[in-house]
Structure 1
Amino acid sequence: MPSDTAPTGLQGVADAAKAAGSGGLPPVHLWHPAHCGDIDIRIRKDGVWFHEGSPIGREALVRLFSTILRRDPDGFHLVTPVEKMKIVVEDAPFIAVRVDRDGEALRFLTNVGDAVEAGPDNAIRVEIDAETGEPRPYLHVRRGLEALIARPVFYELVELAAERDTADGPRLGVASNGAWFPIGPAGAHLA
């Protein structure tokens, strides 16, 4: 538990994250602090982080918080060795804002600075909205956390896509690091 003199709330989480993350990504999956609560942080669908209704304007602070984000069965939490604070995430916590083809790999960059290679451990998946038919593409980033693939980046994936015959019929998809990911329903590209 934090001491009576330790900062609480946003500043306390920021201080703990700085201390914990000095050598790469902190091992949040190993931390199970006794103190749990809520903090008024919300990540909007467009990837903007808010605290108490106002956007968090310091990019470095958002990047810092992104390193201590964890998804548990009951939702998303900022986790430090001494605190676990629940936050609200409207869709995916990150946005994939860039993709580059490098040999057999697709390399993505997120809005919080994560560099992720798609492949067996970092799958691309596309949900189709039942009402509008619009795709919602995602990339696994780390430990159950995903990035929504921004629309311009998804268009780049479509340009890189190739058709494959599947059990459901011909589908467009992309390959990366030995894995193939369909990016739309069977036959959608033929319509």
Structure 2
Amino acid sequence: MSAPADSNRGLAAVAEAAKPAGRVLPPVHLWHPEHCGEIDILIRADGVWMHEGSPIGRPELVRLFSTVLRKDPDGYCLVTPVEKLSIKVDDLPFRAVTAERRGEAWAFTTDVGDTVEAGEDHPLIVETDPATGEPAPRIHIRADLWARVARSVFYELVEAATVERDRLTIRSGGVPFPLGPAGAGVA
């Protein structure tokens, strides 16, 4: 389905629905509106949110949109109580841009301001690209939304890792998270 006749109206409606939420996330899992089509929003692999081919320059607007983002079986969408608009996501919707040790946990902060502690509820998973051997770390943020861990953050984790069962491993919230093989070095 193509974009609504006035995609700016849809964009404004999504932003307006997110405004009252502030730092509290709206209950998008409880909203089941009719699918209204697509809105020309793309979240690029580098984390830049684009609207109609141009970067969305206001971080507050990106944060607002991120609070009404949901991943459904048919893909990513922005959801309000009365509208559901599909968007495109090149990789994952968020980037984990910092990680800091907090006692026995690692806290990750995303490019849209969400912070989670890696643990049972927020696993850190490192997959490896079979063709390149490059690690592709990600951390669970909420529902079915994940953040790609920035390369610099991943290197911080590697520096802090210990070797367990021949794997570089960090622990957070009592849970071990393997980063990669100890002997091969992590790219």
* TM-score, scaled relative to structure 2: 0.91
Letter in 2 for 1:136: A
Alignment of 1:15 onto 2:32: no
Give 1:185 shift: 4.0
Give 1:24 shift: 0.6
Cα 1:162–1:53 shift into 2, 3 Å: same
Give 1:186 shift: 6.6
1:128 aligns with 128
Percentage identity across aligned positions? Answer: 61
1:156 aligns with 156
State whether residues 157 and 170 of structure 2, in contact with CA within 8 Å, keep that contact through their aligned partners in structure 1. yes
1:90-105 to 2 correspondences below 5 Å: 90-105=90-105
Alignment of 1:56 onto 2:56: yes
SS at match of 2:50: strand
Letter in 2 for 1:28: V
2:169 aligns with 173
Letter in 1 for 2:171: A
1:69 aligns with 69
1:3 aligns with none
Deviates more, 1:92-101 or 1:26-35: 26-35
2:3 aligns with none
Q: Distance in 2 between matches of 1:35 and 1:126?
A: 34
1:104-123 to 2 correspondences below 5 Å: 104-123=104-123
Q: Once the two structures are superposed, what CA deviation does each residue of 1:70-122 show, in whole Å capped at 9, x if it has no partner?
A: 01111101011011110000001000010001110000111000011000010
Give 1:31 shift: 0.6
Cα 1:23–1:186 shift into 2, 3 Å: closer
2:179 aligns with 183
Q: Once the two structures are superposed, what CA deviation does each residue of 1:2-49 show, in whole Å capped at 9, x if it has no partner?
A: xxxxx8321121112224x24710010111012431100000000000
Unaligned runs of 5+ in 1: 1-6
| Two-structure CA RMSD over aligned residues (Å) | 1.6
1:4 aligns with none
Q: Distance in 2 between matches of 1:95 and 1:22?
A: 20
Runs of 4+ in 1 over 6 A off after TM superposition: none
Alignment of 1:142 onto 2:149: no
Deviates more, 1:178-187 or 1:155-164: 178-187
Aligned length: 179
Q: Distance in 2 between matches of 1:43 and 1:126?
A: 21
2:5 aligns with none
Q: Distance in 2 between matches of 1:31 and 1:185?
A: 43
Q: Once the two structures are superposed, what CA deviation does each residue of 1:134-162 show, in whole Å capped at 9, x if it has no partner?
A: 11110100001000000100000001111
Q: Distance in 1 between matches of 2:92 and 2:70?
A: 12
Give 1:127 shift: 1.3
Letter in 2 for 1:176: S
Letter in 2 for 1:17: A
